[in-house]
Amino acid sequence: MEQDDENGPGTMVMTKATAVPLDQEEAYLKLAEQSARVPPGSTCTRRETDADGVPAVEQELFFVDDHLGGAFLRRELFTQIGNLVFSISALIPEDRVATQRRELDHTFASLRFILIPALERYGRTFCHGGTQVSVHVPVDWEVREESEQQVRFYGPPSADHDDYRPTFSIALGKPEGFGDQWITGFLQETRTRMAESHRKFALDSVTSFPLSSLVEAHVMQYHWEHEPGLAFVQIQALIPVDMFRMYLVNAASLQPLADTYLPFFKTMLRSLRVLGPLP
């Protein structure tokens, strides 16, 4: 902890990785609950969130510690990949909570995991220089560079569906405009065009959320029919970065395989990180 001779104790931040048995898939929740009991009598608020596309829980505890000399906020995040539980804990003096909370918002939102070889059974981190992104990809998915600024991933073939392979692609381009008003209009025009050009087009959901590189992903999920008896479920995301860069993410699965692959698509999308300079 940094000491400030004039203003008292500073803020302490600690990161930790804890190995747990392989069969304890939600150990991070138990560790969060255990942490919330210390110190006794503290007030705890908790919310579910995600860290770099991985389910997580974040909590804040207010308490008084006479030994440390006053009231404090302890802010924590717990998440888990395989049998490793990762945690970040920040101890903030009460008089610094307002400013430090904003800084920790940025820290917690921009976390990045690198899936080292020891964790390859849970995925691998793929980086692509042309598109300037990295993304967590299942180990049995293949990658193909379609162009200098487009990369596509192929899932394993399905023997029950003529060896069909689901796909997840990332393309980098230059937007025709920029700003909230422009992107709102562009998204609406995109949905209108797709409804006109795709047979039996139906919109399932529309949402937006920030990625770990602190850019916003605008996402729609929809289904459509290429021909009678051949239907697809797709996810499309537009990720504007600045006046010169916008990403288009497309993920597609046969409708009978959607329940299997939609969770993969969503995890991959949330793990996507923009590299290089950000606005």
pLDDT of res. 64: 87
Mean pLDDT across the chain, nearest whole number? 88
Q: What is the CATH number of the domain that holds 242?
A: 3.40.1000.10
Whether the per-residue pLDDT at 72 is higher than 70: the answer is yes
Do 170 and 210 share a domain, yes or no? yes
Q: Is the pLDDT of residue 38 over 50?
A: yes
Residues 244 and 132 in one domain: yes
Query: Are 133 and 216 members of one domain?
Result: yes
Residues 104 and 124 in one domain: no
Residues spanned by the domain of 89: 3-109
Total domain count for the chain?
A: 2
- Residues 90 and 160 both lie in one domain: no
Per-residue model confidence as pLDDT tens digits over 82-128:
888 999 999 999 888 888 888 888 888 888 877 666 566 667 888 89
Report yes or no: 241 and 215 within 8 Å, Cβ to Cβ. Answer: yes
Look at 141 and 64; give whichever has higher pLDDT: 141
Residue 279 lies in a domain: no
Question: Would the pLDDT of 184 be above 80?
Answer: yes
> Which of 33-42, 69-78, 205-214 is predicted with the least confidence, judged by mean pLDDT?
33-42
Q: Report the alpha-carbon distance of residue 195 to residue 252 in Å, rounded.
A: 17
DSSP structure string for the chain: --EETTTEE--EEEEEEEE--TT-TTHHHHHHHHHHTSSTT-EEEEEEEEETTEEEEEEEEEEEETTTTEEEEEEEEEEEETTEEEEEEEEEEGGGHHHHHHHHHHHHHT------GGGGGG-EEEEETTTTEEEEE-TT-EEEEEETTEEEEE---BGGGTTB--EEEEEEE--S--SHHHHHHHHHHHHHHHHHHSTT-EEEEEEEEE-TTS-EEEEEEEEEEEETTEEEEEEEEEEE-SSS-EEEEEEEEEGGGHHHHHHHHHHHHHH-EE-S---
Structure tokens at 165: 């392979």
Q: Are residues 124 and 254 in the same domain?
A: yes
Is 3 a residue whose pLDDT tops 70? no
Name the band, by pLDDT with cuts 50, 70 and 90, for residue 53: confident
In the prediction, which pLDDT does 5 show?
A: 44
Tokens representing residue 90 in the block: 């920040």
Q: Is residue 135 part of a domain?
A: yes
Hey, which of 2-6, 69-73, 196-200 has the most confident mean pLDDT?
196-200
* 66 part of a folded domain: yes
> Is 144 inside a domain boundary?
yes
212 contacts 109 by C-beta, under 8 angstroms: yes
- pLDDT at position 22: 79
